[in-house]
Amino acid sequence: MTENTTTAAERETAAEQTAAEAAVAVRPKRHINQQKLQDNLWGWAFCLPLIVGTVLFIYIALVMALLLSFTTYSSSIHGDVWAFLGRMFTGEEDRFGFTVFEDLNGADPFRWYRFVFTDTAFASRPSESFSKISTMGATLFNTVFYLVGIPIGMVLSMFLAVCMSRDIKGGNFFRVIYYLPCVASTVSIVYTFRNLFNNSGVINTLLNAQINWFAPEADGSMYGVAQGVDPFWVQGTVNKCIVIIMNVWKGLGGTIILYIAGLSGVNASTKEAAQIDGANGWQIFWKVTMPDLYPVIFYNIVTSVIGGMQIYAEPELFWPTATGIGGSYDGKPNLFTSGYVSLIWFWGLSATTAPGNATVDFDKLASAQTSYQSLGAAYGMILAVIIFVLTLFQFWLDKRNNS
């Protein structure tokens, strides 16, 4: 009896299991869309160079720069950077008996960061008896001063974009003309502006004046010296204004194109409704057009600030430090005009003397060109932090305005 009951129970359980399996719908085999697969593969193929380049030249380079900023690395002294970084984790000493954190002054991983905030130099010639100023402070001030061109350029480009977005003859022609400076060589533009602002150039001719825009010249004359004022605040301001004028003119074209694209996306029905309600052109611009253009404006501000904080080529081409005209003083870049990035370049790639607190004269290298890539990396890390904080602040303002 028990055996029959068990067998019946087993049969019933098996039947229920079979019924449950039969009730479950068979999942159809997923069909692979060959066209979509091919599109995805081509998409990844086009993105791969950008991904590889970003990883190699941004993320890996950023980590390397951060590590080097705490060391005493100099390519003239230590050679291969990979072998040097390897000794950071093993504690191995080099042929001079030092670890990566040591030099003749001992082990101090934060030496360069202290140097950045304490290094000083003459903005003008030492013979003029003006006090020394912070090289970081002067170049950072110059960099922020150049950012003044951002709002000027945005207002001008907005005005021109609104004019070009209207249905006028030759609109496309003017768009091309205004965009040409964006594709022109920076060297050619600087050369053109140097000729414009020469003592006998077009600007002085139009003003009927003899303004010494590019002082100090060979005779050493600079605005402010005769009055006992540090020329950094007088001649330096005049010099920096030339760079601002050039950068505004050079950057108008790209910003105009973005604003024209944004204006084409403004809701036409909203503008028409505002016109029906009696709004004038000024009210429509501020209440309808500007809110729709806000994403473009925000994008331009963020990218312009990031790019502006990294300005380097324009001031250096206007006043090449290799010459005696507007050249370097006290062994540093031209503090009248050079941006912060010039210090990264100077100490990391072209310094001809060792920093004041780095008495590394191994194998008489102090008399040769001794660039300290570790010091340049420290300057770069500080700039990265400044840009990161400024960008976060802009996004915070954006979130606050949209909330």
> What's the pLDDT band for 76 if we cut at 50, 70, 90?
confident
Written as one string, the DSSP assignment of 240-305 is HHHHHHHHHHHHHHHHHHHHHHHHHTS-HHHHHHHHHTT--HHHHIIIIIHHHHHHHHHHHHHHHH
Q: What is the pLDDT of residues 284-296, one digit of tens each?
A: 888 888 888 888 9
CA trace torsion 384, 390, 395, 398 (10° rounding): -160
Q: How many structural domains comprise the chain?
A: 2
Q: Do residue 273 and residue 182 come from a single domain?
A: yes
> What percent of the chain is predicted at pLDDT more than 90?
29
Q: Show the domain range for 187.
A: 121-402
Q: Do residue 95 and residue 152 come from a single domain?
A: no
The helix (run of H) or strand (run of E) holding residue 313 is helix 313-318
Whole-number Å distance between alpha carbons of 145 and 321: 20
For residue 262, being part of any structural domain is answered with: yes
For residue 91, being part of any structural domain is answered with: yes
Quick one: pLDDT at residue 174? 80
Q: What is the pLDDT of residues 166-192, one digit of tens each?
A: 777 777 788 888 888 888 888 999 999
Instruction: Please check the confidence at residue 31 and state whether its pLDDT lies above 50.
Output: yes
Q: Do residue 94 and residue 130 come from a single domain?
A: no
For residue 2, being part of any structural domain is answered with: no
The CATH number of the domain holding residue 126 is 1.10.3720.10
Query: pTM for the full model?
Result: 0.81
For residue 184, being part of any structural domain is answered with: yes
For residue 17, being part of any structural domain is answered with: no
Whole-number Å distance between alpha carbons of 71 and 157: 46
Q: Do residue 191 and residue 112 come from a single domain?
A: no
For residue 13, being part of any structural domain is answered with: no
Whole-number Å distance between alpha carbons of 355 and 42: 51
